[in-house]
A and B are shown apart, each in its own frame.
Chain A
Amino acid sequence: MDYSAQERAPIKEALENLKNMRVVPFDVPGHKRGKGNGELTQFLGARCMETDVNSMKPLDNLSHPVSVIREAEELAAHAFGAGHAFFLVNGTTSAVQNMILFACHPGDKIILSRNVHKSVINALVLSGAIPVYFQQPVHEKLHISLSLPLQELEKTILDHPEAKAVFVTSPSYYGICSNLQRIGELTHRHGMLLLVDEAHGAHLYFGQGLPCPAMAAGADLAAVSMHKSGGSLTQSSFLLSSARVDAEALRQTINLTQSTSASYLLLASLDISRKNLALHGQEIFAHVLHLADYAREEINKLDGYYAYGKELIDEKTIFDFDATKLAVATMDTGLSGMEVYDLLRDEYDIQVEFGDVSNILAYISVGDRQRELERLVGALAEIERRFRRPQNTLYVKPLPVTPLRKSPKEAYYGKKISLPLSLAIGRVCGELIMCYPPGIPILAPGEEITAAAVEYIENALDIGCNVIGTHDVDIENLQVLENS
């Protein structure tokens, strides 16, 4: 395909044509191009409401695309260097679910790090796949997951040759990347599929000097959050597959759960954003890199903070770093990332992406200008001056290991009773519990509730982490399997 084809946006063009045809709508949606809901139209704008239409012949149909959506998929696949690109309207969560539903039948094994986002564990509940976890080491000082350990992975693969797939998150929220090329060689040598959660990596396909994206590294499937660094609307996402994957079989999997009334606002936003990145991605992400590098340099001149970058890369623990990410370790100010996050918002009207026990993450994108970064850096300087504490009394421990006793699906659907935390020790957990951020489960359905896990939860509550996921909103009780 000729790259100039990327100037096209077939879904957007079809929507524009439809508008010019002045078709009389006797179909859904019932707001009839906004006329039936004045307040909503005033709030969102007439243009937006006119675009909110249903599938019809000139607009194609997402569940069985033959015209404009198929063209848009082909353009996207070409732009991302994939065999096929699927437009998803149920978020990257659905992309992750579809990768696992496609790769694993109920009871199949899947190899993955225990440090995954809760959405991955939820996908295991849906699919009935059996996780085989390996431990992913955590950076001693920064408390973030390191790159995926290849030896550990290889050992796990050799121990479980019947597993169907390996699931990897790269880049991490913080920008840590794994050696996907080597992981791909390893998985393929053992006849497994490589699934990559690339939610934080849409830009890797378009920028220069950035870590290698999953498709180029040889992954079979990749979930790409176009709405994060790619600029499309929230909840729109791409699922990429390599040429080795049977795309129409994958579409059937997607159709199990995808809305049959896919939003054309989301589809058009994917189409237009793909065009924008294909045509201008290089300059856009060069600018983002420049801003992030500048911010790092300035923050590292302040006392108490460490904005980390490519200097973290070493042979053994961190394979590559995505320098568009601006994560800042706050421990040396004596403040937790959560405290700095709150101070930035409450005292300085600055909203960052998140704060965890030891870091904050500021999301830098094409929409930022240097003057906003000056405010962020100025505010961090002020927070250090006004609020710094002499000693870091925070107590951060790595997540304790919790052995898997039942499959997540079995545990989720098993008969459960509620027990106070201390009495739940030794039983099998029936639900998810985690600190959010980062959203990595402390316990997942099917895992044994160890004394160390309960201690971890109690400590997290003590230091003010946002602990979520349990049926009991006060986090005093856990749902455990009755017969455990």
Chain B
Amino acid sequence: MDLWFSEYHSENVRFSIRVDKQLYSAQSEFQRIDVFSSPEFGRFLILDGYMMFTEKDEFIYHEMITHVPMAVHPRVEKVLLIGAGDGGAARELTRYDTIQHIDLVEIDPQVVAVCREFFPEITKSLDDPRLHIHHEDGLRYIRRVKDEYDLIIVDSTDPFGPGEGLFTKEFYGNCFKALKEDGIMVNQHESAFYEGDATAVRRAHKRIIQSFSLCLAYQAHIPTYPSGHWLFGFSTKKYHPLRDFDGVKWKSLGIKTRYYNTQLHLGAFALPNYVEEILKDVERK
């Protein structure tokens, strides 16, 4: 048997993973959810045909979307996670004792249920007493909140489908309002390599800088995402991701990571020229 999962990374490029078997498939109220197992990447979650994460490389994404802001902001106590129903970002955050409260807003309860069943290692911290899960639209949740969070992490899917509202100006503006005066927002900033994804980078970047005066992008290498080169947005009201970065303090916490380290933190903000150009181009307009 020759069974493969394929995702189009562009109209002319296809990325395939050999599949051992399909473990789950269902249509939730919001999207189609599939779980496969594979010899190379272990189990992986697909939403509406798009790769969300694999057991083998999810650590890269989840470490980078959490530890980078955590090593910059001096005292994160209250965090808002939007999307992130797989629990990966929550797993990283619950390793910090300073964090007292995490709100996780995931629109689709079925995603959480499926991840709990098939990815128990990733979802284990969803039961942490500091974590509070809310099943509603992120855009709806955030418009009621003001001046409340130290850190907001937007762990969204792509800018079409149920995650669409999380790439809009009104959403980023509402995030700005929901953050305290020295708050940080980190978001999934797409990839600048293929034209379709680069358009999403431009749109997201443009809309963020309309609300936040400073938004810098940083990168990670994620093998199962289109082009493998992925970006995150670091939007901040006060702290600069490099000038206010305290590597010594972060190291003293003794958090063991597989991808993130303090040297890599600095390097992650050093972007390739073509990416810098795309972002600068948006900022000039």
Contact = CB atoms under 8 A, between A and B. Distances in A.
Interface stretch (A179-187, A204-212, A271-279, A377-385): A377-385
Interface stretch (A24-32, A313-321, A334-342, A368-376): A368-376
Interface in A338-378: 347-349, 370-371, 374-375, 377-378
Given A302-B143, A385-B177, A386-B173, A378 B164 contact: no
A455 interface: no
B74 interface: no
Interface string B48-88: 00000000000000000000000000000000000000000
B144 A378 contact: no
A298 interface: yes
Nearest to A344: B170
A77 to B, nearest CB: 39
B158 interface: no
A347 B169 contact: yes
Contacts of B139: 371, 374-375, 377-378
B137 A370 contact: yes
Interface string B120-160: 00000000000000000101101110000000000000000
A382 B164 contact: no
A374 B140 CA distance: 6
A351 to B, nearest CB: 14
A374 B137 contact: yes
Contact of A382 (B137, B144, B165, B174): B174
Contact of B169 (A377, A382, A385): A382
A159 B4 CA distance: 83
B44 interface: no
Nearest to B146: A385
Nearest to A379: B170
Contacts of B164: 371
A378 B162 contact: no
Contacts of A374: 137, 139-140, 165
Contacts of B162: 371
B144 A301 contact: yes
A370 B165 CA distance: 11
Given A374-B165, A378-B168, A298 B173 contact: no
A348 B168 contact: yes
Identify whether the interface residues of A are mostly helix, strand, loop, or mixed: helix
Contact of A375 (B142, B144, B170): B170
A348 B169 CA distance: 6
A386 B140 CA distance: 18
Interface residues of B, number: 16
Nearest to A294: B140
B36 interface: no
A381 B137 contact: no
Contacts of A375: 139, 165, 168, 170
Interface in A370-424: 370-371, 374-375, 377-379, 381-382, 385-386
Identify whether the interface residues of B are mostly helix, strand, loop, or mixed: helix
A180 B139 CA distance: 41
A87 B184 CA distance: 59
Nearest to A370: B137
B143 A348 contact: no
B230 interface: no
Contacts of A381: 143, 170, 174
A472 B168 CA distance: 42
Which of A348, A349, A381: most chain B Cβ within 10 A? A381
B119 interface: no
B234 interface: no
B213 to A, nearest CB: 14
Contacts of B177: 382, 385
Interface string B200-243: 00000000000000000000000000000000000000000000
Which of A377, A378, A381, A386: most chain B Cβ within 10 A? A378
Contacts of B260: none
A377 B165 CA distance: 11
Contacts of A301: 144
A381 B146 CA distance: 12
A370 B168 CA distance: 15
B245 interface: no
A371 B31 CA distance: 13
A377 B140 contact: yes
A298 B169 contact: no
Contact of A385 (B137, B168, B171, B173): B173
A382 B171 CA distance: 9
A375 B165 CA distance: 6
A298 B174 CA distance: 15
B137 A371 contact: yes
A443 B144 CA distance: 45
Contact of B165 (A302, A378, A386): A378
Contacts of A349: 168-169
A386 B137 CA distance: 22
Nearest to B172: A382
A371 B160 CA distance: 11
A302 B164 CA distance: 22
B143 A377 contact: yes
A381 B174 CA distance: 8
Interface of A: 298, 301-302, 347-349, 370-371, 374-375, 377-379, 381-382, 385-386
Question: What 10 pairs across the A-B complex have the smallest Cβ distances?
Answer: A378-B170, A379-B170, A382-B173, A374-B139, A381-B143, A378-B139, A382-B170, A374-B137, A374-B140, A378-B143
Interface of B: 137, 139-140, 142-144, 162, 164-165, 168-171, 173-174, 177
Given A347-B169, A379-B169, A381-B174, 17 more contacts: A348-B168, A348-B169, A348-B170, A371-B139, A371-B164, A374-B140, A375-B139, A375-B165, A375-B168, A378-B140, A378-B165, A378-B174, A379-B170, A381-B143, A381-B170, A382-B170, A385-B173
19 contacts: A302-B143, A347-B169, A371-B137, A371-B162, A371-B164, A374-B139, A375-B165, A377-B143, A378-B140, A378-B142, A378-B165, A378-B171, A378-B174, A379-B169, A379-B170, A381-B143, A381-B170, A381-B174, A385-B173
